[in-house]
Amino acid sequence: DAKTTQPNSMESNEEEPVHLPCNHSTISGTDYIHWYRQLPSQGPEYVIHGLTSNVNNRMASLAIAEDRKSSTLILHRATLRDAAVYYCILREDNAGNMLTFGGGTRLMVKP
Amino acid sequence: DTAVSQTPKYLVTQMGNDKSIKCEQNLGHDTMYWYKQDSKKFLKIMFSYNNKELIINETVPNRFSPKSPDKAHLNLHINSLELGDSAVYFCASSQANSQSPLHFGNGTRLTVT
């Protein structure tokens, strides 16, 4: 999988929106952008994915830059339960379905 | 109902032993995976397996072997355990396409003494 770059950590206040950035300048045309998160002592959890257009679901929104070299995961109102490590992953169409995780961003939410 | 379940949750054993970790998924998925998360919290893919193909991460020692009795199960067998095998092991499953999300179990914490 192509590489992604994320900040090591971010802080947010409860009830405020959070924008988690991800750079993927070497993305290829068939790479999907996936986001997962891992809460303490749990397995990773799927959040959202997209290819070119912005995406919304009940958990979050994904904003994808026009050139696809970066994306932003948006949590509209952070809660304490959103404190987790967030992973931005590029998933190739022919990668044998494997996800390769990077270091992720540790999000801390302050009450 | 738990979608992806692993047993045991904790496993403590001595160097040199052979152990297995079991994984079952009830999602009807056709692809299953094993990941290893070490003490630095990096998640590394070990295996991807469906009924047609086993893909092995080349860095995984051959002491580790996946065994799949059927589509719903992918067990991880480890021979001659070493101290460095201590980690949390996660099983996951998905459909066989690049858009299908992976569903993970809650992990098995293996401690080798």
CA distance B23 to B14: 22
Q: Which residue from A32, A96, A103 is facing B55, i.e. has the nearest CB? A: A96
d(CA B9, CA B11): 7
Interface contact B77, partner A, CB < 8 A: no
What is the chain A residue with the closest CA to B46? A98
pLDDT at B18 over 80: yes
Assess B55–A contact: CB distance below 8 Å, yes or no.
Answer: yes
Q: Residues A39-59: pLDDT tens digits?
A: 999 999 999 999 999 999 999
Task: Indicate the pLDDT class of residue A97, thresholds 50, 70 and 90.
Answer: low
CA distance A91 to chain B (A): 6
Cβ separation of B102 and A44 shorter than 8 Å? Answer: yes
Bridge partners, B71 (sequence order): none
Q: Which residues of A touch B96 (CB under 8 A)?
A: 97
Strands, E assignment, chain B: 4-7, 10-13, 19-25, 31-37, 43-50, 54-56, 64-70, 73-78, 87-94, 103-104, 108-112
Helix (H, G, I), strand (E, B) or coil at A46: strand
Does the distance separating the beta carbons of B103 and A96 come in below 8 Å? no
Inter-residue contact A10 to A107 (CB < 8 Å):
yes
Query: Chains A, B: CB contacts under 8 A, how many?
Result: 58
Asked if the bond preceding B8 is cis, omega within 30° of 0, the reply is: yes
CA A35 to chain centre: 4
Q: Kindly report the nearest CA distance between residue A108 and chain B, in angstroms.
A: 16
Q: Mean pLDDT, chain B, as a whole number?
A: 92
Kindly report the nearest CA distance between residue B46 and chain A, in angstroms: 9
Residue B13: strand pairing partners:
B112
Q: Identify any residues that bridge with B24 across adjacent strands, giving them in sequence order.
A: B5, B73
Question: Are A43 and B99 within 8 A, CB to CB?
Answer: no
A9-13 vs A105-110, strand pairing mode: parallel
Residue A9 at interface with chain B, using a CB cutoff of 8 Å: no
pLDDT score of A35: 97
Segment among A4-13, A89-98, B10-19, B69-78 with least mean pLDDT: A89-98
Of all residues in chain B, the percent with pLDDT exceeding 70 is 97
Give A2's pLDDT tier (boundaries 50, 70, 90): low
Task: Report pLDDT for B1.
Answer: 63
Task: Give me the DSSP letters along A50-101.
Answer: ESSS-EE-SS-EEEE-TTSSEEEEEESS--GGG-EEEEEEEE-TTSTT----
Tell me the chain B residues in contact with residue A87 when contact means C-beta distances shorter than 8 Å: 43
Give the separation between CA A23 and CA A64, rounded to whole angstroms: 10
Q: Is A46–B101 a contact, with Cβ atoms under 8 angstroms apart? A: yes
Q: What tens digit of pLDDT does each residue of A54-79 get? A: 999 999 999 999 999 999 999 999 99
